[in-house]
Amino acid sequence: MKVLGIMGSPRIKGNTDLLLDEALKGAQSQGSEVEKIIVDRIKIAPCREYYSCLRDGNCAIRDDMDGIYPKLLEADGVIVASPMFFYGLTSQLKALIDRCQALWTRRYILKQESPDAARKGAFIAVGATKGQKLFDGSILTVKYFFQAIGVEYAAELLVRGVDKKGEIREHPTALSDAFELGRRLAQK
Ligand SMILES: Cc1cc2nc3c(=O)[nH]c(=O)nc-3n(C[C@H](O)[C@H](O)[C@H](O)COP(=O)(O)O)c2cc1C
């Protein structure tokens, strides 16, 4: 099984990154092959609504998304991880997701991609504040993203009240919860 981790924070070794690493270790513990994409370290332009994807399912923009599309389609499990930036996903991650309109088009307009119920996805998110609705908008975005690429939203780990770089290490359960999330995702 291949598990793809998409790291949405620009802060390397920050809270999101540490949580995703634990989740990927959990997946590895079940024998999965894992790969982590750090979206801040690659070039992904935002969607420009050229709509060439409506013709053939391919985006007109040539950048690092060329290499991401096949990874998204090949993975058996996908873990999306992001800090909350103004109650949403980071703009780097959102650009990657928006560019998946091409995959949505292949699936729902051009009917190219066959439904594959076996692919599972998980969402890991962290924010500094503790409001009840902190993750609501991002959960909807990630659910719709997973639907576009044919992945079931199977698990989530949402951690409130964590702000400074690496502060997640002081959280009583978050890192072990992340490991467990990855372990279970790789079992399904
Ligand atoms: C631009 C920006 C916007 C933020 N907006 C929010 C927010 O709306 N709600 C919140 O709880 N935390 C917010 N935060 C705090 C981060 O979510 C928090 O510091 C998180 O732990 C960062 O995770 P990281 O280390 O993985 O980058 C924001 C931080 C930045 C830099």
* Span of 37-51, 54-68, 115-129 with lowest mean pLDDT: 115-129
pLDDT value of residue 95: 98
**Confidence band (pLDDT; 50, 70, 90) for 188?**
low
Mean residue pLDDT across the chain: 96
Which atom of ligand 1 lies closest to the CA of 165? 25
Tell me the percentage of the chain whose pLDDT exceeds 90: 96
Q: Helix or strand or coil: residue 122?
A: strand
Q: Whose CA is closest to atom 19 on ligand 1? A: 163
Q: At what angle do helices 136-149 and 101-108 cross, to 10 degrees?
A: 50
pLDDT value of residue 113: 72
> Ligand 1 center to residue 167 CA distance, Å?
12
Is 139 touching ligand 1 by the criterion CB < 6 Å? no
Is 14 touching ligand 1 by the criterion CB < 6 Å? yes
Strands of the sheet containing 152-159, edge to edge, are 33-38, 2-7, 77-83, 120-126, 152-159
pLDDT value of residue 150: 94
**171, two tokens:** 């959280």
Are 88 and 27 contacting, i.e. CB atoms less than 8 angstroms apart?
no
pLDDT value of residue 116: 64
Is 45 touching ligand 1 by the criterion CB < 6 Å? no
DSSP class of residue 115? P
Is 86 touching ligand 1 by the criterion CB < 6 Å? yes
> Ligand 1 center to residue 164 CA distance, Å?
9
pLDDT value of residue 118: 84
Higher pLDDT pick, 186 / 115: 186
Which atom of ligand 1 lies closest to the CA of 167? 21
Average pLDDT, integer, range 27-40: 98
pLDDT(115) > 70: no
Q: Whose CA is closest to atom 21 on ligand 1? A: 163
Instruction: Return all residues near 145 (Cβ < 8 A) that are at least 6 apart.
Output: 80, 97, 100
Is 15 touching ligand 1 by the criterion CB < 6 Å? yes
Which atom of ligand 1 lies closest to the CA of 81? 26
Average pLDDT, integer, range 139-165: 97
**Confidence band (pLDDT; 50, 70, 90) for 143?**
very high
Which atom of ligand 1 lies closest to the CA of 166? 25
pLDDT in tens, 70-103: 999 999 999 999 999 999 999 999 999 999 999 9
Place of tokens 């994807």: 53
pLDDT(26) > 70: yes
